[in-house]
Structure 1
Amino acid sequence: MTSETTIYRNATVFTGEATVAPRECFAVRDGLVLAAGDLTSVRLAVGGDAATPPPGVTEIDLGGAVVTPGIIEGHSHMMMLGESLSKVQLRDAGSIAVVQERLAAARAANPEAPMLLGTSWLFDIFPEGERPTAALLDAVVSDVPVILDANDLHSVWVNTAALAAMGITRETPDPVGGEIVRDANGDATGFLLETAAMSHAWGYLDSVRSEVDEDRYLQAAFDAYLETGVTGATEMSFGAADLAAYRRILDRDGRLPFPVNAHWLLTATGDIASDAAQIEQITRVRDEIAAQYGDQWLRITGVKFILDGVIDACTATMREPYANGELPGAIWEREFALPMAVAADAAGLQLALHAIGDEASTIALDMVQECIRVNGARADRRPRVEHLESVADDTIARMAALGVTASMQPVHCDPAVLDNWQAVLGDERARTGFPWHKFRAAGVTLALGTDAPTAPHVAPDNLFIALTAESALDRSREAYQPERVFTPAQALEALTLGAAFATKRETELGRIATGFRANVAVWAANPLQGAPAELLGTGAALTLVDGQVAYRREA
């Protein structure tokens, strides 16, 4: 970082607040925003006169581009994103046959690879009543483990070699909150749900992954985000392997490519004492990291509870049954969730509560209410509920009353990925999902993100869906409930200042204003006044982190 001053002029500068008119330019010095306003005022602020800047001040003409605070990714899985970029991509595979073709081609292209990994297959490719099986994968790749993450990262499809490598047998018990799907004989079929996917598939991959791999994946995620104007991330599946990789970067560079707020992923054990031990360990690690590195770059801010699954797999916890009659319980039942939340809250850990089904979000707010009852009211609590895909009106009203942030992901309701989502609900709930407009009307703070790699990480595509309710993947699709859409200013605030507020960094990030860190995105397209479709496939023209160029798009 240098003490040079730079004025960025001839721009439309969105400050981060939807109600504040855009500025004309801004100045940066020592990694901070020095001033933002019209060119004359900014020149005067840096010590010049109305006509010219003082000696030593550089002026850069942005050619009329839209400038915003850097996007703060509201919900991400950084290492998984980096790893997913090198996997076989299956989100646009429209059938089982296409999945098989891609796997066969990938195996032929790299016959020495010890395993084959894929990501983002959709439930839509399976005929009604059918599920993934190892046999379908064995038909094309049987000599090495094949491990395929579902698009939502809540289930995994594997072949027989992978089941063997993971040590799954008839005797392997289902973990709390998960299922190893089995046939009539009790043999695993190759489909792992929820915590079974996490403990077996992801646990296996953790055991065979090297530190070099982890560092490469993490750097790939930082690079991919910076290209789309992201200058901060909220890490939602943090654990020991992630911590070690982040520490290696901090030890090497003294900083990260951009600030990261981490929520440690909790495991439901079914034992209150074991659950409580997790809180003690996380609190200790949080304090050690803060003492060693400070909190400018990496902050372990809270814990993540995965209260339920996902609607596509009929594992999200609903108040009423799915179309097939199923009504699954929560991964964290109240008897364990409430005391665990109280313990985390007492330790000063922020609650991030994955709740996709309407009953799961009810449990989430019961947890927040219990924290208030036991630990008392506290202004800095900042609880947040993640996803909220199917949510009841009474829950939205409760969130407003309790000051709970709604962390939502527009890319999750891209119409191209909603067919199965709507079919398994089968009733009015299929038409009332993702009610952004109701949260806004109730005054609930919104923080937008992508949940990458469960969905594309590209910020302009995410914004496009927020503005249109249309598909970034298949432009022929009709909009899903377009009455929900954001105005550009509303969406940009939720992507910047809203996400900063949700991470308790709103006094340093999320605004282009005097004294804030100069984390800034210069957009290649115009998100404020251009046609939303012009955003698709674009990224940042320029990304600044603490005033320094972190990414510049080639001309």
Structure 2
Amino acid sequence: MIVFARPLIAFSLLFSFTSLAQTHLITDISGYSINDGQLVEFSAMTFDDDGVTQLYRHDDPLPNDETMIRIDGKGQTLLPGLIDAHGHVLGYGLSLMRAQLREAQSELEAVEWVKQFRDKQPELNWIQGRGWNQVLWADKSFPTAASLDRLFPDSPVWLKRIDGHAGWANTAAMILSGVNVQTQAPEGGEILRDETGKPTGVFIDNAMSLITKNIPQLTETEQKAVLLTSMQALAKLGLTGVHDAGVGAETLKVYKELAKSDDIPIRIYAMVDAFDDQFNDLMKLGPIKDPGQKLDIISVKISADGALGSRGAALIDDYSDLHGHKGLLLHSEDELNKLMELAMESGFQVNTHAIGDNANKLVLDNYENLIKQTSTGRLRHRVEHAQVLRLKDIPRFSKLNVIASMQAIHATSDKNMALDRLGEQRIKGAYAWRKLLDSGAVIAAGSDFPIESANPFFGLHASVTRQDQLNQPKRGWYGDEIMTLVEALNTFTNAAAYAAHQESLVGQLKPGLKADFILVDKNIFKVSPSILWQTQVNQTWVDGKRIF
């Protein structure tokens, strides 16, 4: 291994006075990093608050400098800080404060859990929750307002589906929102109705705004508290960076205030939400990089379609389990093109949510034309999810220098319904990590929290096994698409950094890059892949400072 020397002394501003940076030496570790595509192993590392200064193999002599702060790693495994390339930070913080329905096995059980939550939070006006998934229920039917009305006849209730692309309201919420039998769904949305045409209580994609626009917005002070709670919780899971997928103007303002006061504990790569009312004004401001290197606002998030579980993903042909239904495009093709063009011309990386094969084809077609028109190939535009692809569209990612921002845990969560939705042929291009990697594409890994767990080791486990946490199915769900552990770790580190134009800052542990790293209780390269998801984070460090 080649070790690059660099000056060990740097200057930093801390608590309004200047002091010499202190160098640390951590020893007795099993260290791993994917540096320039190769697995690097080391047993000690020096670093300061400016970055990594040197890595040491087992037989390398260690520095004998008494001024260094020495840390005994106690045999723990040290990894680069993990980066989630697609999460929702405010939503995650709010999910920690709302009814959790992820594991509910029936509609009635979900309602009972909401009741238990309300009993502990009697002061709430609106009762909110997230995580229901009718696919897990015996009849697989969407829930109705009627089941909520029995226990909540007067208080408005709003519960988001696990994927965030559908919501379940009670009658009180619909009355308060003025929703009735005459209400029409906006373009890109759907209101589920009974045989008489009456709304059942489920609203899909853009139709959710009929309810959500009536829920009181958080104040800046409340947003700040939620964001800090969220980032601190994410740090405990080993995340030193998050690409926040879809951030509105008000939340961006709070992020900027936190960055200005140096109160952001992890690195945030914020994507401007194209749905925000102030989107055009934000484009005029142009990309923003905070000098403290904790906040970048240089990308946008556009949503082309909905989700597969709620049958909102836009498919070319009918859903295999619902004849006559092809899903939803959330923008007209002309509007989608104009949003992308505006963002590219304004100098922003464009990150577009696309799940169905029609949405992915449309996004790639637009990228191909607009990248040439705007000369923005260097911006590394992205497809968020890239979940269901035509086989002939897979090589286009590498050809166009477009990044596939994917979430491995979606495959193991969706395996109970994806084949039903797509059929035997389309499933061959779904969650196609191996095909994408073999074609030369870059995959940046994330979780899409709070839709899925924010724990990155769940995603690493899914990447290398294609199994759930019960180790099913035996050979992995379409196991020919699995990644190696080196590939998987790279998607959560260097590839994720590359997807945010941060590869010269983070993503690897080597001299000159930031000292963002974690200490964990398992050597992930030596334990059985089946227990990767059980890995526990003991410490998290950012900029050479321990934050957990």
Normalised TM-score (structure 1): 0.89
Matches within 5 A, 1:421-432: 421-430=418-427
Change (3 A) 1:232 1:97: same
| 8 A Cα contact 2:460 2:533, kept in partner | no
The answer for the alignment partner of 1:6 in structure 2 is 24
Q: Does 1:58 align with 2:86?
A: no
Stretch moving more, 51-60 or 219-228: 51-60
| 8 A Cα contact 1:26 1:34, kept in partner | yes
Q: Does 1:240 align with 2:255?
A: no
Task: Quote the offset at 1:257 in angstroms.
Answer: 0.8
Task: Quote the offset at 1:108 in angstroms.
Answer: 3.1
Equivalent position amino acid for 1:15 in 2: S
CA distance in 2, matches of 1:346, 1:279: 14
Q: Does 1:229 align with 2:229?
A: no
The answer for the alignment partner of 2:17 in structure 1 is none
| 8 A Cα contact 1:411 1:462, kept in partner | yes
Matches within 5 A, 1:168-179: 168-179=179-190
CA distance in 2, matches of 1:514, 1:303: 31
The answer for the alignment partner of 1:406 in structure 2 is 404
CA distance in 2, matches of 1:329, 1:151: 18
| 8 A Cα contact 1:422 1:431, kept in partner | no
Task: Quote the offset at 1:535 in angstroms.
Answer: 2.9
Normalised TM-score (structure 2): 0.90
Q: Does 1:341 align with 2:340?
A: yes
Matches within 5 A, 1:444-523: 444-472=441-469, 474-475=470-471, 478=474, 479-523=476-520
Corresponding residue pairs, total: 526
CA distance in 2, matches of 1:51, 1:466: 36
CA distance in 1, matches of 2:62, 2:232: 38
Map Cα deviations across residues 156-180 of structure 1 (whole Å, 9 max, x no partner): 0111111123333445442231123
| 8 A Cα contact 2:249 2:278, kept in partner | no
Q: Does 1:101 align with 2:112?
A: yes
Task: Quote the offset at 1:28 in angstroms.
Answer: 0.6
CA distance in 2, matches of 1:399, 1:140: 50
Task: Quote the offset at 1:301 in angstroms.
Answer: 1.4
2:387 to 383, 386, 389: 389
The answer for the alignment partner of 1:274 in structure 2 is none
Change (3 A) 1:172 1:212: farther
| 8 A Cα contact 1:500 1:510, kept in partner | yes
Higher helix share: 1
Equivalent position amino acid for 2:21 in 1: S
Secondary structure of 2:503's counterpart equals: coil
Stretch moving more, 427-436 or 28-37: 427-436
| 8 A Cα contact 1:227 1:539, kept in partner | no
| 8 A Cα contact 2:272 2:279, kept in partner | no
Task: Quote the offset at 1:213 in angstroms.
Answer: 3.1
Stretch moving more, 351-360 or 480-489: 480-489
Change (3 A) 1:432 1:371: closer
Equivalent position amino acid for 2:301 in 1: K
The answer for the alignment partner of 2:282 in structure 1 is 282
Equivalent position amino acid for 2:179 in 1: I
Task: Quote the offset at 1:434 in angstroms.
Answer: 0.5
Equivalent position amino acid for 2:484 in 1: T
Task: Quote the offset at 1:248 in angstroms.
Answer: 3.7
Change (3 A) 1:412 1:243: same
Matches within 5 A, 1:161-200: 161-197=172-208, 199-200=209-210
Task: Quote the offset at 1:238 in angstroms.
Answer: 0.5
| 8 A Cα contact 2:306 2:328, kept in partner | no
Secondary structure of 2:339's counterpart equals: helix
Equivalent position amino acid for 1:61 in 2: D
| 8 A Cα contact 1:66 1:523, kept in partner | yes
| 8 A Cα contact 2:246 2:300, kept in partner | no
Secondary structure of 1:119's counterpart equals: strand
RMSD over aligned CA atoms reads 2.3
The answer for the alignment partner of 2:34 in structure 1 is 16
Identical pairs, percent: 26
CA distance in 1, matches of 2:471, 2:113: 24
Is there any run of 5+ residues in structure 1 with no aligned partner, and where?
42-49, 269-276
CA distance in 2, matches of 1:312, 1:12: 41
| 8 A Cα contact 1:5 1:28, kept in partner | yes
Map Cα deviations across residues 465-486 of structure 1 (whole Å, 9 max, x no partner): 11111113x4555531122211
The answer for the alignment partner of 2:440 in structure 1 is 443
| 8 A Cα contact 2:403 2:444, kept in partner | yes
| 8 A Cα contact 2:249 2:282, kept in partner | no
Q: Does 1:32 align with 2:41?
A: no
Task: Quote the offset at 1:429 in angstroms.
Answer: 2.9
Task: Quote the offset at 1:133 in angstroms.
Answer: 1.5
Stretch moving more, 76-85 or 52-61: 52-61
Stretch moving more, 319-328 or 419-428: 419-428
Secondary structure of 1:536's counterpart equals: helix
Change (3 A) 1:426 1:396: closer
Task: Quote the offset at 1:23 in angstroms.
Answer: 2.2
Is there any run of 5+ residues in structure 2 with no aligned partner, and where?
1-13, 15-19
